Amino acid sequence: MKLSLHHLFIISVVFVSNLSAQLTPVIDLGTHVVAVGVPPKYSAAFPNQRTLKVPTHYTVSIYYAGGLSKPRFMAFSPGGVLHISDMNAGKVYALPDEDHNGVADTIYEAASGFSNNHDIEFYNGALYVTETTRIWKCTDEDQNGFYETKSIFISNIGNGQTSGHVTRTLVFDAINHKAYVSVGSSCNVCRETARAIIEQYDEDGTNRKVFATGIRNAVGMAMHPVTNRLWANNNGSDQQGNEIPPEWIDIVRENGFYGHPFAYGNGTWFNFNIGGYQSLLPITATDSANVATLVPPAALIRAHSAPMALQFLNSHFGEDLQYGFLSAMR
């Protein structure tokens, strides 16, 4: 059989796909093991004698425990009250600390009537709550802590699809008056157009555009406090082994391609002989051109760590941490 250049390229991809990307080095900033402090009012809801390893000079204590079914992302209101999105309850709760002792005084329902609500953001006096296919804008007209009115801010996210990754993360860019929404994939690996992307909108929810592609599921997103550039982390695909692919954390570049579902790292192709990856064949010239644009991410961490929220730090965190960020791992 006569092989074309296209056939030869596919064969080469299959055989070089076992190359690995180099993980970001781990640096020990100095840690110690501390007992988790539990206020008496929450002792029944939180197990005693739990410990955590944290940076030196830091301690950990419980702010609130009990009464939540599936808490997801959190945000502080302009007045400094912590709010949390409860995905299973379809509600957003407020947890005020009026006496500023580091322990929630109470919990109350600030907004409700949602479905699969994941992220919450306060912006220009309103509370925004993300669902799988839409985002709500909620307002507190009388400033009593309860958001009485709701309107749809963005709809038809991901062409209205509800399969696969159902969480949506929202970030506002106050300087350029934009909003960004992450739309995770509908599958482990497959070809799709309205998913595995990050969308950009004007801050009023209009003028949708696809900002970046090849991003399987960016659960954590944040604007850098100095450069004002969008950063994100990614939950990579399965069935390539315990250590492939590493999760990435990187700047999200306009029109950037980030590898999914074909490659990872700075251009290492997946093994297309495994499981559902065979459905991606044949590899096209467009696929190859997209993968050729990949650059080394700012950070690569261990596969299947499932990074969640991403939060930049500041001068309150000392010399070693103030220029970094925290990313929670699930």
- Residue 5 pLDDT exceeds 80: no
Q: Which of 2-6, 14-18, 180-184, 202-206 has the lowest mean pLDDT?
A: 2-6
3 pLDDT exceeds 80?
no
Angle 227-228-232 from CA coordinates, rounded to 5° = 105
Residue 57 neighbours by CB under 8 Å, 6+ apart: 318
- Quote the mean pLDDT of the chain: 91
Question: What is the mean pLDDT of the segment spanning 189-203?
Answer: 97
pTM of the model: 0.91
pLDDT at 202 over 80: yes
pLDDT band at residue 11 using 50, 70 and 90 as cut-offs: very low
> What pLDDT does 21 receive?
77
pLDDT tens-place string over residues 255-287: 999 999 999 998 999 999 998 999 999 999 999
Query: What is the rounded end-to-end Cα distance, in angstroms, of the chain?
Result: 49
Distance CA 140, CA 101 (A): 26
Give the model confidence (pLDDT) of 130-142 as tens digits. 999 999 999 999 9
Chain-centre distance of CA 67, in angstroms? 24
| C-alpha–C-alpha distance, residues 180 and 287, integer Å | 25
What per-residue confidence (pLDDT) applies to 51? 95
Assess whether pLDDT exceeds 60 at residue 104. Answer: yes
Per-residue model confidence as pLDDT tens digits over 62-88: 999 998 999 999 999 999 999 999 999
| 19 has pLDDT over 60 | no
DSSP one-letter string for 24-36:
PPP----EEEEEP
User: 209-213 and 256-257: which strand pairing?
Assistant: parallel
Structure confidence by residue, pLDDT tens digits, 115-174:
999 999 999 999 999 999 999 999 999 999 999 999 999 999 999 999 999 999 999 999
CA–CA separation, 155 vs 135, rounded Å? 7
20 pLDDT more than 80: no
